[in-house]
């Protein structure tokens, strides 16, 4: 109980405003999961963060079909941004105002497991086929030998660039951070920024970018004993690197950017480089279709050109079933339906290349490979897949931990960058302050 309450307190520390409760408890049915005929019966609430139109529509259509096949079941879907979702569950857990099932981020899952908020999904994984999932993806939701999450789709962070701008400037695709900075500065002209550096305190983008640099030399933002490490020579180099990018290549408003603000610049053709997953493709095709032929991606830059390739951040986006649910069997049956081949293919096609399959037996099928976006951006598929196989969630290179989840959820690294940029605080002093704040948060859960 002490650990659970600590998680709840931590979850509210950085929240500037709390969304009003959505009365999930009022939606619960007192009926049993199945009636005497064996049919499923009950109401469940599903929270997810698939806010973009097409995949949101696929989820709703799947729920509608599931309810048609099971007339005794009612599924209420509520959609939140990732930031709002974190606020909702951390503030709602004590009151029971949490859903029956939800999506999550890997960092969320370790906090949820630590708060004993989830039920095991080992039975569901076995029904779908345990050997169809990668061991590393399943391990992100594993505790004491049981799995409490399963990945619905996967992606990884890579470097996106504008082929036309590089060609016009006579530049090659950068392979090192030095080459990247030089190219980004050279391409900052004519209304285009070389690379925006985002560090809004309500998102994880500052942490993400700093992690890229630190991981490129085999470092980590966590020590082996799971303490924050922002004052190492490598971390200080990384902080200074991104401050230089901000000063010379970035819009000044990016000091407050969250992930969508950052991505939208690339979607609209206003940045030459960005770091993201395959979601960039759909964003560009929607906002600037004439630029669709001019974008591609490459592996993340390195310190030295002959350093090995690496993956700094892989995301296996999981599904979870909450301990609070009166109908976990219904939740698991619905999740299983999402993995049915036809349904799963429709879901992936809602954001092709942005969402790559987390199970085997999909990417090698003719149906998957005939998708026009998959064919057009085959290089991106290869680059992202290679990066996925080498990376972990931020901080998970030390193994899944609550500390890794808190590293990205508290906005402390982002506030550090803002303090340096807006207040002129000394880099080493700001880094030490942020490191101490993170370690104080970490100590509250031990």
Residue 417 lies in a domain: yes
Largest CA distance in the chain: 73
Residue 396 lies in a domain: no
Burial (Cβ within 10 Å: 0-12, 13-18, ≥19) of residue 329: middle
195 and 307 fall within a common domain: yes
State how far the alpha carbon of 99 is from the alpha carbons of 25, 57, 359, in Å: 8, 20, 25
286 and 414 fall within a common domain: yes
Q: How many CB atoms lie within 10 A of CB 305?
A: 11
Q: Give me the tens of pLDDT residue by residue for the chain, a chain 446 residues long.
A: 334 444 444 444 433 333 333 333 333 333 345 544 468 999 999 999 987 668 899 999 999 999 999 999 999 999 988 888 988 999 998 888 999 999 999 999 999 999 999 999 999 999 999 999 999 999 999 999 999 999 999 999 999 999 999 999 999 999 999 999 999 999 999 999 999 999 999 899 999 999 999 999 999 999 999 999 999 999 999 999 999 999 999 999 999 999 999 999 999 999 999 999 999 999 999 999 999 999 999 999 999 999 999 999 999 999 999 999 999 999 999 999 999 999 999 999 999 999 999 999 999 999 999 999 999 999 999 999 999 999 999 999 999 999 999 999 999 999 999 999 999 999 999 999 999 999 999 998 86
Taking the model in full, what pTM does it have? 0.88
Residue 173 lies in a domain: yes
DSSP state of 288: -
Number of domains in the chain: 2
Torsion over CA: 15, 411, 420, 262 (sign) = negative
Q: Which residues contact 319 (CB under 8 A, 6 or more apart)?
A: 101, 102, 103, 104, 121, 149, 150, 151, 152, 335, 338
35 and 132 fall within a common domain: yes
β-sheet with 42-48: strand ranges across: 73-79, 42-48, 101-103, 314-321, 150-156, 356-357
Question: Which tokens sit at 3?
Answer: 């650990």
Residue 183 lies in a domain: yes
Question: Which tokens sit at 223?
Answer: 């020590």
235 and 306 fall within a common domain: yes
Burial (Cβ within 10 Å: 0-12, 13-18, ≥19) of residue 138: buried
282 and 303 fall within a common domain: yes
Structural domain harbouring 253: 158-312+410-443
Q: Which helix (H) or strand (E) holds 186?
A: helix 177-186
Residue 94 lies in a domain: yes
Question: Which tokens sit at 248?
Answer: 């010379």
74 and 139 fall within a common domain: yes
294 and 167 fall within a common domain: yes
User: Looking at residue 89, which CATH number applies to its domain?
Assistant: 3.40.190.10
231 and 379 fall within a common domain: no
d(CA 446, CA 444) in angstroms, rounded, equals: 6
CA atoms within 13 A on the CB side of 298: 14
Backbone angles phi, psi at 102, to 5 degrees: -165, 165
Q: Are 354 and 282 in contact, with CB atoms under 8 Å apart?
A: yes
Q: Are 264 and 283 in contact, with CB atoms under 8 Å apart?
A: yes
Beta bridge partners of 74: 43
10 and 149 fall within a common domain: yes
Beta bridge partners of 76: 45
Radius of gyration, CA atoms only, the chain: 22
117 and 41 fall within a common domain: yes
Q: Are 207 and 263 in contact, with CB atoms under 8 Å apart?
A: no
Q: Which helix (H) or strand (E) holds 315?
A: strand 314-321
State how far the alpha carbon of 241 is from the alpha carbons of 44, 164, 230, 351, in Å: 48, 26, 14, 32
Residue 257 lies in a domain: yes
Residue 398 lies in a domain: no
Cα dihedral angle (369, 370, 373, 379), rounded to 10 degrees?
Answer: 40
Residue 420 lies in a domain: yes
């Amino acid at each position: 109980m002490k650990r659970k309450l600590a998680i709840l307190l931590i979850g509210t520390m950085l929240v500037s405003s709390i969304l009003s409760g959505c009365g999930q408890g009022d939606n619960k049915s007192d009926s049993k999961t199945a009636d005497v005929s064996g049919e499923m019966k009950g109401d469940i609430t599903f929270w997810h963060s698939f806010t973009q139109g097409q995949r949101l529509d696929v989820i709703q259509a799947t729920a509608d079909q599931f309810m048609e096949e099971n007339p005794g079941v009612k599924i209420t879907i509520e959609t939140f941004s990732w930031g709002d979702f974190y606020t909702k569950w951390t503030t709602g857990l004590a009151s029971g105002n949490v859903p029956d099932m939800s999506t999550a981020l890997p960092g969320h899952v370790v906090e949820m497991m630590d708060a004993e908020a989830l039920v095991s999904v080992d039975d569901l994984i076995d029904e779908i086929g345990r050997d169809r999932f990668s061991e590393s993806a399943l391990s992100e939701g594993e505790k004491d030998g049981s799995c409490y999450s399963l990945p619905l789709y996967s992606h990884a962070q890579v470097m996106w660039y504008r082929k036309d701008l590089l060609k016009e400037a006579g530049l090659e695709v950068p392979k090192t951070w030095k080459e990247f900075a030089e190219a980004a500065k050279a391409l900052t002209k004519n209304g285009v920024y070389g690379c925006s550096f985002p560090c809004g305190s309500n998102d994880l983008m500052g942490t993400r970018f700093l992690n890229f640099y630190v991981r490129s030399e085999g470092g980590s933002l966590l020590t082996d004993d799971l303490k924050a490490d922002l004052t190492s020579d490598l971390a200080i180099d990384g902080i200074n690197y991104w401050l230089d990018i901000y000063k010379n290549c970035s819009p000044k408003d990016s000091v407050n950017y969250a992930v969508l603000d950052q991505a939208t610049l690339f979607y609209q053709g206003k940045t030459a480089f960005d770091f993201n997953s395959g979601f960039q493709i759909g964003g560009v095709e929607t906002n600037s279709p004439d630029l669709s032929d001019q974008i591609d991606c490459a592996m993340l830059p390195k310190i030295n050109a002959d350093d090995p390739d690496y993956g700094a951040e892989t995301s296996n986006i999981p599904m979870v079933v909450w301990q609070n649910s009166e109908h976990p069997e219904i939740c698991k049956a619905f999740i299983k339906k999402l993995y049915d081949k036809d349904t799963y293919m429709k879901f992936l096609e809602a954001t092709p290349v942005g969402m790559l399959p987390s199970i085997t037996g999909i990417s090698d099928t003719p149906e998957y490979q005939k998708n026009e976006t998959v064919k057009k951006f085959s290089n991106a598929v290869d680059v992202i897949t290679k990066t996925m196989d080498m990376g972990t969630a931020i901080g998970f290179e030390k193994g899944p931990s609550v500390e890794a989840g808190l590293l990205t959820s508290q906005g402390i690294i982002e506030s550090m960058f803002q303090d340096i940029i807006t207040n002129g605080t000394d880099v080493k002093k700001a880094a030490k302050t942020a490191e101490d704040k993170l370690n104080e948060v970490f100590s509250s859960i031990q």
